Chains A and B, each alone.
Chain A
């Protein structure tokens, strides 16, 4: 039973000086599904993300990853347990080349990351794997370009390649399509679908049409509380959700 869910939160709560950003959220993310978190601005989506990945300490509640309590685990250790997050602003290492970006994720398992006396040519053995990852997301031709000089969509792709380098079972994507043109959105959606094989994805997203197509389950947040949960077909009919978030725009989006 518990094995069906990769991540579970119990009464997840975050208070900032009297303001409750996230209140008693019980989230259950099913293994090998794409789960979307939506809601109007200020609904607490990103805060939820930061809580689950431990970038923010929680005020109350528990978080389970594969049935294991990670409520007090350090953020860097979360990655080692197989859960890796992305960021709202595309998070690449701007002065490193695309190849080096991916390699930074790969090199930790070599166990030489503290070896300051060693030449970085020792990392060359990772290049094949890094190139393969760049190829997978379609940015191999930019391998020697500093990541900061890539277009927004390619930065996103590179970020996903970097994340995948860790072979996480669980990916958290914070608005992966924010600020993208339609072409990039379609490409990224396709990419997400592709990488979701054998993985679980929890994503925050504004773009409803994308969410509708991609996700198996949608959780709607409003003012830090769960308003509704279910597949898109169900959510989109929920009058409360329509009022709170989708407004009159449901038909036109879908």
Chain B
């Protein structure tokens, strides 16, 4: 009798689950056939940023923490993966895992320092530490400063599948993305996720119920950092390059923009936001610095007209149909 009650507060649960399955199935299918219709490198770039934004969204959307330094996880993992693949000749999956673990480690340290503060102070501490790591990246010899690590070999996945083939590379990126998004979905909809949402909604109350909120925040921070790292690692293989752009604070700002445009606290919002921003950057690139202005205008419109972001606006509509977006 209790089984049907948890999954969804929306409509009839069984119907809801199957519609959800169809919805996710369609998205997967779109992801699988997309490279035959759209330029794959563009798609991969979008997926990398989508994963980055989704990881960032775990903190902003489900814990209520605005980190302004996530580029350090994204960019540093790119360096680590690039270095591991190029200099040590590691296979891509190991190199990506290494990048992810390093990001998790950095996340543990940065998170431990930052979560003692809230709001703007939290954002400032993360920004300060990210700037510190930016200058380390600028000075450290192995990052090659302004040049970055170039010509990173994509290598052979598990030593067999040749990733220099664009389609192979695409499906690798897509697979990583889909797994990571599922993992994030699971985290958000877990006993742990319930506590996170409670902390986001009312931290003092969560404390008064006996939750040591700092531990929950720290774990969420580490998960977010780790997956941001995964995104950066994969990106360095896609473009065969790890550069200062990805550790720069611009990248930290961009991920905030993507998450807010797409819909903070939604599952697919960051993906939508990431593709929107990447599209603007790619297809309006000829407009030069106007791109920033266009982004700014879109952001202002978004904040004024639909605050919940693209997916946030669609969400009530989908929810009525038993789909959680």
Contact = CB atoms under 8 A, between A and B. Distances in A.
Interface string A135-173: 000000000100010000000000000100010000000
Nearest to B183: A117
Contact of B219 (A100, A103, A116, A148): A116
Interface string B203-245: 0111111111101100100010000000000000000000000
B57 to A, nearest CB: 15
Contacts of B9: 97, 144
A116 B192 contact: yes
Interface stretch (A25-33, A40-48, A77-85, A232-240): A77-85
Interface string A48-74: 000001010000000000000000001
A17 interface: no
Given A87-B205, A116-B223, A120-B193, A104 B198 contact: yes
Nearest to A105: B209
A120 B202 contact: no
Contact of B191 (A55, A77, A97, A115): A115
B15 to A, nearest CB: 16
A115 B9 CA distance: 22
Contacts of A84: 208-210
A38 interface: no
Given A84-B208, A93-B198, A124 B2 contact: yes
Contact-size category for A: 35 or more
B210 A104 contact: no
B5 to A, nearest CB: 5
Interface stretch (A106-114, A178-186, A205-213): A106-114
A74 B211 CA distance: 10
Contacts of B215: 114
B223 A74 contact: no
The B interface, classified by DSSP as helix, strand, loop or mixed, is helix
Given A121-B6, A144-B9, A96 B210 contact: no
Contacts of A122: 191
A107 B190 CA distance: 11
B189 A91 contact: no
A95 B191 contact: no
A79 B208 contact: yes
A86 B215 CA distance: 22
Contacts of B219: 114, 116
B187 interface: yes
A91 B202 contact: yes
A140 B89 CA distance: 61
B156 interface: no
Interface in B1-58: 2-3, 5-7, 9
B206 to A, nearest CB: 8
A148 B200 CA distance: 13
Instruction: Name the residue in A75, A96, A110, A120 with the highest tally of chain B Cβ atoms < 10 Å from its Cβ.
Output: A120
A128 interface: yes
A51 B191 CA distance: 30
A132 interface: no
A115 B197 CA distance: 14
B186 interface: yes
Contact of A91 (B7, B187, B205, B216): B205
A125 interface: yes
A89 B24 CA distance: 40
A75 B208 contact: yes
B201 interface: yes
Given A99-B5, A123-B194, A127-B6, A92 B202 contact: yes
Nearest to A92: B202
B5 A127 contact: yes
A108 B213 CA distance: 12
A236 B2 CA distance: 51
Contact of B194 (A77, A104, A162, A166): A104
Contacts of B60: none
Q: Closest 7 A-B residue pairs measured CB to CB?
A: A79-B210, A116-B192, A93-B201, A91-B205, A144-B9, A127-B2, A116-B187
28 contacts: A55-B207, A76-B210, A76-B211, A76-B213, A80-B210, A84-B208, A87-B205, A91-B204, A91-B208, A95-B201, A96-B194, A96-B201, A97-B9, A107-B191, A113-B192, A113-B211, A116-B190, A116-B193, A117-B186, A117-B187, A120-B189, A120-B193, A120-B194, A121-B3, A122-B191, A124-B3, A124-B5, A128-B2
Given A76-B212, A120-B189, A123-B6, 19 more contacts: A55-B204, A77-B210, A78-B210, A85-B208, A91-B202, A93-B197, A93-B198, A93-B206, A95-B200, A96-B198, A113-B192, A114-B219, A115-B191, A116-B186, A116-B192, A121-B6, A124-B2, A127-B2, A144-B9
